[in-house]
Chains A and B, each alone.
Chain A
Amino acid sequence: MASESPTDDQLIAAIQARDMQALEQLFDRYRVLAYSVAYRLLNDAGDAEDVVQESFLNVWRAAGTYRAGRSGSRAWLMSIVHHRAIDKLRGRGSRPMTTPLDDALPVADSSDVWSEVSQRLTGSAVRSALDTLPTEQRESIELAYFGGLSQSEIAGRLNLPLGTVKGRMRLGLHKLRSLLEAGTKELELE
């Protein structure tokens, strides 16, 4: 009988117990995704390597702050990578800690539905969902996430009121979430 691979949550639990092999397994699972995001933001191989290295060091040191069943391990890990890449991009070393490692806020667990959705997602499904968004919402999300711009910088670049940019990002992300859910349900029905 073939042995099953450990889940991300099992690996993170092992990392909390200082299991270096578990860290290496998690790294192997997400190294390409993490590096690709950092490289897309920074457009510099050395900086992207630094960001991935710092991010997995952060995972090693702060694995205890991860709680299974919230936004998912991939979202947690990628938020660490993205946050560190943004720090490097903006040249600031002193930003306040934000959500990736913050376990201080009580919150209802995310739905089981999303957990299943997340496991089924593919690159083409996400790109397709992004392409389905209204152009102005997609543009604001991409400038922020892939371009590393702040909301004020986006408002300046697009010559829009700040409130409009805030609304587009928020509405766009809600719509993206719905599209991704709907897309994976369609796959189930096929």
Chain B
Amino acid sequence: MDDGEMHDLVGAYVLDALSPAETRAFQEHLQSCPECRLEVYQLQEAVGALPLAVDQVEPPADLFDRIRDTIENERPALKPITGGRPTPRRPVPWSYLEIAVAAAAAVLIVALGAWNIHLQSQISTNKAALRYQHAVNQAILNGGRVSKVPGTAVAPGATAALVQPAHPGPGYLIVQGLPNLKANRVYEVWLVKPSRPPVPAGVFGSPGQGLQIWQLSKSAKGFPITAVTEEPGPHGSQAPHGPKVLAGAVST
């Protein structure tokens, strides 16, 4: 996509109407395009007025109490790590044998310092990744758990780490070396308990060459196993059907 085509994405960007891949591409473009940055902020002003056009609805009276309770319970939580809530979807049973194989094959916890140094070496100019990395570092320093999720025979060059912050918020998956996907395919993250259907925890597109960090849709706490499969895009599957590319035990 050339600069002119990128410029045309400004409206869709501020309206949240781009796909994840388009959003990333446009954000990269913004880094080097002051005209687009200015236009983004101008159009955000107009978009910021749109909520006023909506019929006003009163929220429940106790909503702020819930917010305060969450904050009180997570102190001293990590400021940069954002919250998240599970996205319920229909479960389908996961092969118990696969769980056992994944669990047996997994390496439980990476030495945190070594892993950090390794991660740092992979990051070059991706500022978004650096910010996430900072959050991950803080998660680790504040008692977050890191579990290595190795590539399977389908993707032997891939590796990943699942980071679960100490607070009840969502986990992060740090990924590198996954093969690029064909059109209309995505990678989908699953959280697994033995004898239970796998729970979907988000999808992501072709990971590119560098290191990528993805925020999951929910906390990994209480799930002893995580896996990533290839599924139909753009929304993934309701149960894992495609080839498993990453699988490992989660330190909880």
Contact = CB atoms under 8 A, between A and B. Distances in A.
Interface of A: 20, 23-24, 27-28, 31-37, 39-40, 45, 48-50, 52-54, 56-58, 60-62, 64, 70-72, 74-76, 78-79, 81-83, 86, 88, 90-99, 101-102, 104-108, 110, 114, 118, 121-123, 125-127, 129-130, 141, 144-146, 148-152, 154, 163, 165-174, 176-177, 180
Most A CB contacts (10 A, CB to CB) among B57, B60, B170 go to: B57
Contact of A61 (B27, B46, B81, B214): B81
A73 B53 CA distance: 17
Contact of B59 (A35, A94, A108): A35
Given A106-B34, A171-B11, 7 more contacts: A31-B63, A45-B60, A86-B16, A94-B202, A99-B13, A123-B54, A144-B15
Given A61-B79, A90-B235, A177-B42, A50 B17 contact: no
A72 B48 contact: yes
A145 B63 contact: no
B55 A94 contact: no
Interface residues of B, number: 76
B170 A57 contact: no
Contacts of B80: 61-62
Nearest to B72: A20
B48 A94 contact: no
B109 to A, nearest CB: 23
Contact of A60 (B24, B71, B202, B217): B71
23 contacts: A28-B64, A33-B52, A36-B56, A40-B55, A48-B59, A60-B71, A70-B41, A78-B50, A79-B47, A79-B48, A88-B87, A91-B235, A92-B20, A94-B173, A94-B189, A95-B20, A107-B40, A123-B53, A141-B15, A146-B54, A148-B16, A169-B12, A170-B43
Contacts of A45: 60
Nearest to B171: A93
A144 B204 CA distance: 21
User: Which residue, of B18, B46, B78, B81, has the highest number of chain A Cβ atoms within 10 A?
Assistant: B46
Interface in B32-85: 34, 37-38, 40-60, 63-64, 66-68, 70-71, 77-85
A129 B82 CA distance: 35
A93 B114 CA distance: 28
A95 B63 CA distance: 26
A97 B128 contact: yes
Nearest to A172: B11
Nearest to B127: A104
A61 B77 contact: yes
A105 B63 CA distance: 33
B11 A169 contact: yes
A154 B17 contact: yes
B40 A152 contact: no
B79 A118 contact: no
Contact of A82 (B16, B38, B189): B16
